[in-house]
């Protein structure tokens, strides 16, 4: 097909040459009988029109050829002495030179204008084709289909054997090596960020014309957008899967927490009867029932916090009352004797804040229980309160293993256990998560910071208030 197209192109080119050379010969023959009567200027202008017409139809080579032949025709047939290349009048030489210069200049200007017009036309077609391609590919139903379509177009337009994308994040395609191919690699960049490499391969060296290179650069940007779209779709699908899993988990937690309450109540009652009969196993049964009851309560509270259904009642309370209630709540529990109250401020008794007392007490107790759980048996846990600007802060300092920097945010996630934590430590990993969310419901927060000398400092930050004693 390519050979037939080239043959037709050569035939059209030969026809144009014969046509315009014939036109010049016909004009020469037409003017020849009247060469003594027709003004030389008219003949020169007529020849000039043939030169311009040939240039427009056949290009620069045909135009220059017509200008040269026209000059010789004009000189030989229409300048005295006729039928020779000898001039008898200097003015005729000026006319000939003017004709030749005008023909060449006009031909060059016309050819240049036609070349620019052709370039503009090709650019317009290229832009239109790229726009249509971009609309077609990027609006494809699946991001992978759009990217595959772009690669097919590049491979077809540039006539290469293979085309693929090597992604640095290794999400969509991983290209196998091509040991027997000549390769051309182009980086894929979106908003100044590299997302991969576009790789072309062919059995022979790849040589791209300027127009092909522009086309490839334009399509490489579409390919980069396609890669980014694949990434965004994958991230959206993962986020949606996480949301669905979280919703299912919340529903399961709420269901379990409700369903566990009734059998736990029954077990607790039966354990109390057995304990009244002085059975040694009764105390263990009752203790385990209490532990399961606390877990069910934590699960129920977590589901309420997720559903934004936890009741919050903001009131004016003092730091002293909250710390005292926390110490009283911990009395009798394991390690409660290690809790030490520290008063760094002289006016600690006058510290106050606006918060929900019950929920804040729950959060603070969770922080202290977490510190007791992870601290050595002989290390005290320090509990203090201080006013910092507009915040009332309760600090719980321990000498536990601490939390690595990468885990400081994750320790507040439900069920999360740091890798450094011993496997035999009890609990379900809900205490810090519930404390953090209870604080957030009141406009506060729970923060973690490493403690100098080892350990952790967890801070419950609430809204402070001014009171008059």
The pLDDT of residue 315 is 92
Are residues 446 and 321 part of one domain?
yes
Q: What is the pLDDT of residues 315-329, one digit of tens each?
A: 999 999 999 999 998
In a domain, 25, yes or no: yes
pLDDT over 70 (residue 138): no
Are residues 205 and 73 part of one domain?
no
The pLDDT of residue 171 is 40
Least confident of 144-148, 199-203, 441-445: 144-148
Are residues 148 and 116 part of one domain?
no
Tell me which of 94 and 347 has the higher pLDDT.
Answer: 94
Q: Which tokens hold the place of 160?
A: 């290469």
Are residues 194 and 106 part of one domain?
no
Q: Domain span at residue 221?
A: 141-228
The pLDDT of residue 173 is 44
Q: Which of 345, 346, 342, 442 has the alpha carbon at shortest distance from 386?
A: 345
The pLDDT of residue 245 is 63
The pLDDT of residue 357 is 94
Tell me which of 42 and 371 has the higher pLDDT.
Answer: 371
In a domain, 245, yes or no: no
Are residues 322 and 446 part of one domain?
yes
pLDDT over 50 (residue 2): no
Q: How confident is the model at residue 309 (pLDDT cuts 50, 70, 90)?
A: confident
Residue 336, burial from CB neighbour count under 10 angstroms (0-12, 13-18, 19+): middle
Categorise residue 425: left if φ over 0, alpha if ψ from -120 to 50, beta otherwise.
beta
Q: How far apart are CA 354 and CA 206, in angstroms?
A: 74
Planar angle of CA 26, 31, 35, nearest 5 degrees? 150
Entry pTM: 0.48
The pLDDT of residue 257 is 56
The pLDDT of residue 383 is 92
For residue 81, cis peptide bond before it (omega within 30 degrees of 0): yes
Quote the number of domains for the chain. Answer: 3
R_g over Cα of the chain: 45
| Strand ranges in 108-259 using DSSP code E only, listed in sequence order | 162-166, 182-190, 193-202
In a domain, 280, yes or no: no
In a domain, 1, yes or no: no
In a domain, 117, yes or no: yes
Considering the chain, what is the average pLDDT of its residues?
77
Q: Are 40 and 95 in contact (CB under 8 A)?
A: yes
In a domain, 4, yes or no: no
Q: How confident is the model at residue 458 (pLDDT cuts 50, 70, 90)?
A: very high
The pLDDT of residue 36 is 74
Rounded mean pLDDT, 165-169: 72
Are residues 152 and 126 part of one domain?
no
Are residues 454 and 319 part of one domain?
yes
The pLDDT of residue 174 is 46
Are residues 200 and 145 part of one domain?
yes
Are residues 459 and 324 part of one domain?
yes
Tell me which of 184 and 323 has the higher pLDDT.
Answer: 323
Are residues 406 and 432 part of one domain?
yes
Percent of the chain with pLDDT over 90: 13
Q: Are 27 and 47 in contact (CB under 8 A)?
A: yes
Domain termination site, one of 74, 103, 132: 132
pLDDT over 50 (residue 175): no
Tell me which of 311 and 299 has the higher pLDDT.
Answer: 311
Domain termination site, one of 228, 248, 265: 228
Q: What is the pLDDT of residues 347-390, one digit of tens each?
A: 555 789 999 999 999 999 999 988 888 888 888 899 999 999 89
Domain termination site, one of 92, 110, 132: 132
Are residues 419 and 321 part of one domain?
yes
pLDDT over 50 (residue 434): yes
The pLDDT of residue 464 is 92
In a domain, 51, yes or no: yes
Are residues 114 and 153 part of one domain?
no
Q: What does DSSP assign to residue 338?
A: G
CATH code at position 357: 3.30.565.10
Give strand pairing partners of 460.
394, 446
The pLDDT of residue 311 is 86
Q: How far apart are CA 407 and CA 386, in angstroms?
A: 26
CATH code at position 215: 3.30.450.40
Which stretch of DSSP H or E encloses residue 366? Answer: helix 357-374
The pLDDT of residue 457 is 92
In a domain, 37, yes or no: yes
Give the three-state DSSP class for 462. Answer: strand
Q: Which tokens hold the place of 320?
A: 């002293």
């Amino acid at each position: 097909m390519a050979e037939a197209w080239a043959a037709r192109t050569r035939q059209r080119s030969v026809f144009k040459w014969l046509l315009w050379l014939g036109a010049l010969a016909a004009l020469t023959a037409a003017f020849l009988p009247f060469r003594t009567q027709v003004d030389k200027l008219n003949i020169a202008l007529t020849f000039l029109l043939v030169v311009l017409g040939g240039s427009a139809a056949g290009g620069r080579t045909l135009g220059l050829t017509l200008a040269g032949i026209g000059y010789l025709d004009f000189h030989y047939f229409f300048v005295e002495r006729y039928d020779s290349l000898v001039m008898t009048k200097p003015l005729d030489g000026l006319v000939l030179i003017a004709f030749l210069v005008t023909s060449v200049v006009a031909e060059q200007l016309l050819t240049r204008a036609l070349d620019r017009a052709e370039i503009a036309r090709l650019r317009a077609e290229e832009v239109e084709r790229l726009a249509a391609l971009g609309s077609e590919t990027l609006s494809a139903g699946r991001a992978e289909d759009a990217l595959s379509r772009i690669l097919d177009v590049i491979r077809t337009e540039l006539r290469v054997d293979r085309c693929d994308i090597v992604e640095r994040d290794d999400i969509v395609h991983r290209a196998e090596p091509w040991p027997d191919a000549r390769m051309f690699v182009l980086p894929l960049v979106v908003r100044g960020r590299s997302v991969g490499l576009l790789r072309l391969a062919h059995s022979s060296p790849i040589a791209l014309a300027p127009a092909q290179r522009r086309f490839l650069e334009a399509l490489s940007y579409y390919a980069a957008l396609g890669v980014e779209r694949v990434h965004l779709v994958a991230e959206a699908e993962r986020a949606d899967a996480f949301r669905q899993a979280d919703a299912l988990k919340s529903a399961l937690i709420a269901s379990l927490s409700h369903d566990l309450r009734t059998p736990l109540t029954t077990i607790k009652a039966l354990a109390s009867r057995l304990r009244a009969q002085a059975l040694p196993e009764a105390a263990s049964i009752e203790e385990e029932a209490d532990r399961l009851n606390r877990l069910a309560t934590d699960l129920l509270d977590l589901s309420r916090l997720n559903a934004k259904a936890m009741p919050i009642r903001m009131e004016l309370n003092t730091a002293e009352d909250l710390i005292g209630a926390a110490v009283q709540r911990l009395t009798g529990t394991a390690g409660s004797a290690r809790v030490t109250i520290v008063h760094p401020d002289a006016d600690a008794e006058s510290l106050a804040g606006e918060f929900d007392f019950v929920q804040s007490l729950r959060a603070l107790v969770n922080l202290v229980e977490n510190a007791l759980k992870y601290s050595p048996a002989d290390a005290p846990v320090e509990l203090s309160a201080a006013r910092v600007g507009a915040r009332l802060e309760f600090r719980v300092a321990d000498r536990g293993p601490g939390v690595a920097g990468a885990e400081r945010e994750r320790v507040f996630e439900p069920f999360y256990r740091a890798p450094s934590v011993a496997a035999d430590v009890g609990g379900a990993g809900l205490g810090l998560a519930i404390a953090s969310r209870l604080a957030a419901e009141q406009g506060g927060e729970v923060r973690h910071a490493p403690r100098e000398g080892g350990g952790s400092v967890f801070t419950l930050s609430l809204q402070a208030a001014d009171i008059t004693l």
